[in-house]
Homo-oligomer: A and B are copies of this chain.
Amino acid sequence: MCQLFALNSNTPSAVTFSFTGFSARGGGTAEHADGWGMAFHDPSGCRVFLDDAPASRSPLAEFLRRHPIRATSVLAHIRKATRGAVQLSNCHPFQRVWAGRHWSFCHNGTLENFAPRLDSAHQPVGSTDSEAAFCCLMQSLARRFAGQGPAPDWALLAPVLAELAAELQTFGSFNFVLSDGEAVYTHCSTRLHWLPRSHPFSHARLIDAELSLDLSRANGPNDRMVLVATEPLTHEEPWQAMQPGEFLVFVQGQPVWHRLPEAMRAAA
Q: A148 contacts which chain B residues (CB < 8 A)?
A: 120
Q: A97 contacts which chain B residues (CB < 8 A)?
A: 95-96, 123, 125
Q: Which of B49, B52, B89, B149 contacts A120 (CB 8 A)?
A: B149
Inter-chain CA distance A147–B121, complex, in Å, is 9
* CB-CB nearest in chain B for A135: B97
Q: A87 contacts which chain B residues (CB < 8 A)?
A: 44-45
Q: Does A47 contact B (CB under 8 A)?
A: yes
* Interchain CB contact under 8 A, B142 and A46: no
* Interchain CB contact under 8 A, A88 and B120: no
What is the CB-to-nearest-CB distance from A90 to chain B, in angstroms, rounded to a whole number?
8
Q: Does A150 contact B (CB under 8 A)?
A: yes
Inter-chain CA distance A167–B44, complex, in Å, is 31
Q: Which of B42, B125, B151 contacts A100 (CB 8 A)?
A: B125
* Interchain CB contact under 8 A, A146 and B120: yes
* Interchain CB contact under 8 A, B88 and A45: yes
Instruction: Give A16-64 interface residues, CB cut-off 8 Å to B.
Output: 42, 44-50, 52, 59-60, 63
The 8 A CB mask of A72-106 against B (1 = contact, 0 = none) is 00000000000000011111000111111110000
* CB-CB nearest in chain B for A147: B120
Q: A121 contacts which chain B residues (CB < 8 A)?
A: 98-99, 121, 142
Known contacts A46-B88, A96-B97, A145 near B120 by CB under 8 Å = yes
Known contacts A99-B120, A142-B120, A47 near B44 by CB under 8 Å = no
The 8 A CB mask of A104-138 against B (1 = contact, 0 = none) is 00000000000000011101111000000000000
Q: Does A67 contact B (CB under 8 A)?
A: yes
Known: A45-B90, A98-B123. 13 other contacts (CB 8 A): A44-B52, A46-B89, A46-B125, A47-B48, A47-B49, A47-B88, A48-B48, A60-B67, A63-B63, A97-B123, A98-B121, A120-B145, A120-B146
Q: Which 3 pairs between the two chains have the least Cβ-Cβ distance?
A: A45-B88, A45-B89, A100-B123
Show 22 residue pairs from A and B whose CB-CB distance is below 8 angstroms, ordered by the A residue. A44-B52, A44-B89, A45-B87, A45-B91, A46-B125, A47-B88, A49-B49, A60-B63, A60-B67, A95-B95, A95-B97, A97-B125, A98-B120, A99-B120, A99-B123, A100-B120, A102-B125, A120-B147, A120-B149, A120-B150, A120-B151, A121-B121
